[in-house]
Chain A
């Protein structure tokens, strides 16, 4: 849903799954035209086979000037418009005031519909949309949040001097909340601790005792499990998390990431087995041949995932993987070295770094979602 440059996706509140127009696939499969084509009183929507040069739609596209939405986004759209103005196709070309001519949003929709009851008190603030964006639960917003609200509202209502948007779908709010920033942090700990440990061992900086291995692997396993838990509970349909692995679309970093996590988890599990079954500790080094790259990939893959969200500013930050790599190593060091040194000062410094990184992760996840789509 972050990837769609058109903000077309929403969470179906009845099924908890992501949905969008699917060209009435259920009708097409029985050879009926899409419902919107049939019902429109003025026959404004034309559907058909663009691969057939003799079809009505092909003729229309060939004989008229057409526009598409966001041609630069790489979506290769098959939806053409005749006689559409910029204001009709580009949301940023119209002035937005937060309300519509006939509508005024006070509660969340889709994913947020479940909070309906508890939000009654909060509907009197300037714009419930922004409050939802901050994932607050039905309380008056604090002064700091009010400042953010003002800031966002200002961005929304840029004077374009042009057309005013009088009707739009209700805002779906911010989709990725605390679970996502938290999982990036826990994953960083899970991957970074092991990676830094292995690097320290290979460079001879640290002697890996059994106790140190136990703590490193233990933290790895626990935080990887936490990561998995956060990933799953963030879903509106948690039981479907398996689909990522069982119906893989290899172009997606959601899929590649899931397999990387599994691979890394496998290495951790085998490493734990080495300790528990008291096997030769050199196996740990052999496992690290796969483990180190997997751990680093575990920490970094989220950058590539975020960059696939073409609708958001993450996709424009080509340095994001490097930043994630640096963060993984830093967070790993902040956990590992205090454990290796057992110095109170190290723990304090490490703690500060961890908190700082958590705050940064929150900002990283939230900020681009509150900006208009690219």
Chain B
């Protein structure tokens, strides 16, 4: 359509803007996907909002990695050359994991950067803990005061009273090195409520405690997950699963809930939670019966002889005999048995079993959270799932499942301090001999039990008051100065745990910090660099910056530099800490952050050569490109390195399980029934609550101020199957009371066929709150009132939901939702699995209609009850506690921040 005469005249008279397109290059010829890296410092784009007026904007594109989940996908920050600020984030095509694409959380980083309620300065508590009184202090004050407290603690000789508790590390090894420099066994994590169950199952096999499925090349993809593994490697895995499927792979999803992934699957098996091991063993039995196993792999790489020696000493050590005995051992796991345990049709068990049994070396399997962390004995799920890979010969193969350590790069650090000279029994209590990672979710209970206390406690991108079960016990612990001498919250935003801190120190987001990342997102091994983009931009413009807080908003800093500075100040010159912070390049000088990464990058295989080809050095290469592919594919590394187990092979038979008191688990079996097994839910009103599934566009704590993400998901109704809804006499939107072992909450009903009958689903990802005196995250937080009713009883009521408010950002006044969901996590009793130590997320609940006066969002918890309940579960571990040779735990198994060898033994 050409221009009319009237329009041409009006444009020439300048009554209306001139919109001639003669200057547009237009879509003549092929379209590009990304700007050429050589143009990244001078990228020009048309302003989307001004269009059709052609207004050019000049950008400098600086690569970094996303900080909104573990995947660390590549991002390009668009630094507007006129304002000197970041305008937006798009993908980094150079990043081998994300390959230029992102999920919603990546681009939404700009919301977090521009959040009007960000914490911009270090804050110190005024008045009692938790009252909400804060004053702004300088970094100098913060560093001096905190370093003094740490020094005081270290000088007592204690090795376990300064603790760094991390939610999302987002880096490789930085803070462990710091803790070693201080000489403390002080690392605690969130793994215990996340992947500890799965890790234990995998570690029993081959010490490597995490799988890396090669989805893109698989023939069969078998996921026991709640949509792309509940937030781990969403984007990178989604890409490769689809690639595999486009190439003909079959997708099988095991999940009692119809997740997004299950909706895409060729087969969706809604198994009853905790029964998955029965299913996998029935398939194992099928494989053995039909002779579809990989004889070569099993014969050469599995410790079957050890099993024969231990459990069948009279039998000949012959492989064929082993197979016959194994067939007998697993004969009980018939398809009918599996169908009954899992409560799915036997036809489905057989049909899908045949697909799995015939997958050969191209079976890509994955479990990370889901059933492994939901159930008592959940570690059996990963152990039996891996058995399928072992039998089909798909361990470490192309299209199969490899250990993640093969494609995860471990950086070389410029200085490695000695291992800690002590063992922290609050993290690794003696009764949890096989637990994977620290017993983090029972920290308040152990302290309440008199087992220890902490002088200085850092919570870092970690929000246990909200994310963890039994949050009121955390509040009790945090408010007690005897239990926690000093609480420092390192966080980009306010959160429920920071409300109870002594210091709240703002640390930067994806574009405001230094980190190195490497994750097993496919068979390739890559390394990526997260950097403060405005610092890099300044450098490109010829300006040097000494500390990241100079370029970040307000005084927002980053942990890397903060730890260095803090460590320096802790040491009064006599403690031997400072010697671990000296530059490897300049004798006698303190190391700078650039030097830290320079040293690391110089030692990455292939990176110096790649850098030279671009006329720069390794650090320069990473600053410019953001990522580097070290190895294209990492298959079959066991052929060179073997397996890091006592036998050097895949441990089908685990001597450690026998020695540490669990002979019934010497080999993979389904011997522990879930605590929410149907046999345990006898009452008409008893259901299984399924809370451990997330929304694709959120993370647990730091996405609440991302307006675009809050807009997509802000409430968490109860998923109720229509038959259950009829039984309960409720319809859409009606309220139900969900009663756990220690409390209850009231939520709204969402009637759906997407949840297995007998199970109530409710995402533990939503229900954020703040009290009247608290600030931040108003896009997602309800305003609540917390009442201490005495005798351990606590009540939380929702005063108002989410409300629009006026600020410099007009969008805050355009919030179109009010429902901020319900905080159910706080009503969950802690349930530490005696073997893996994992918190079993699923809760046995009673469902009823609320009575008069009980409203939507009401929560009640009894922390006295939760303490008694913890003791019952703790007893499960205590009654089996045994320490062969005085070992605290198997010496060959992994432990984060492992102390010196002598501390691995219990002294009588």
Contacts and interface: CB of A to CB of B under 8 A. Distances in A.
Nearest to A157: B732
B238 A42 contact: yes
Interface in A82-108: 97, 99, 101-108
Contacts, number: 154
B545 interface: no
Interface string A223-262: 0000000000000000000110111111000000000000
B239 A42 contact: yes
B715 A103 contact: yes
B803 interface: yes
A20 to B, nearest CB: 13
A206 interface: no
A78 to B, nearest CB: 13
Contacts of A164: 752
Interface in B1-47: 1, 4, 6-7, 10, 15-16, 21, 24-35, 44-47
Interface residues of A, number: 53
Interface string B720-758: 000000000000110000000000000000101000000
A33 B816 contact: no
A359 B33 CA distance: 55
B24 A105 contact: no
Contact of B46 (A30, A43, A97, A170): A30
A30 B21 CA distance: 12
A103 B714 contact: yes
B804 A107 contact: yes
A35 interface: yes
B804 A117 contact: yes
Nearest to A100: B715
A41 B235 contact: yes
B717 interface: yes
Interface string B49-93: 101101000000000000000000000000000000000001100
A247 B32 contact: no
A104 B715 contact: yes
Given A13-B810, A170-B816, A247 B804 contact: no
Nearest to A112: B816
Contact of A102 (B4, B90, B695): B695
Contact of B717 (A27, A35, A101): A101
Interface residues of B, number: 66
Contacts of A97: 732-733
Given A41-B103, A41-B235, A42-B238, A30 B45 contact: yes
Contacts of A146: none
Interface string A3-46: 00000000001110000001011111111110101111111000
Contacts of B818: 104, 106-107, 123
Contacts of B806: 117
A109 interface: yes
B680 to A, nearest CB: 29
Interface in A168-184: 170
Contact of A243 (B16, B48, B102): B16
A101 B821 CA distance: 11
Given A13-B810, A33-B31, A245 B44 contact: no
A37 B31 CA distance: 11
A103 B16 contact: no
Contacts of A106: 801, 816-819
B250 to A, nearest CB: 16
Nearest to B719: A101
B69 to A, nearest CB: 13
Contacts of B33: 32-33, 37-38
A41 B241 CA distance: 11
15 contacts: A15-B49, A22-B51, A32-B32, A33-B33, A41-B239, A42-B242, A43-B239, A106-B816, A109-B814, A109-B816, A116-B804, A117-B804, A120-B803, A243-B16, A246-B10
Interface of A: 13-15, 22, 24-33, 35, 37-43, 47-49, 97, 99, 101-109, 113, 116-117, 120, 123, 164, 166-167, 170, 242-243, 245-250
Given A31-B31, A103-B711, 15 more contacts: A24-B48, A38-B33, A38-B34, A38-B101, A39-B101, A39-B107, A99-B717, A99-B732, A99-B733, A102-B766, A103-B715, A117-B813, A123-B818, A246-B16, A248-B6
Interface of B: 1, 4, 6-7, 10, 15-16, 21, 24-35, 44-49, 51-52, 54, 90-91, 100-103, 107, 234-235, 238-239, 242, 695, 711-717, 732-733, 750, 752, 766, 801, 803-804, 806, 810, 813-819
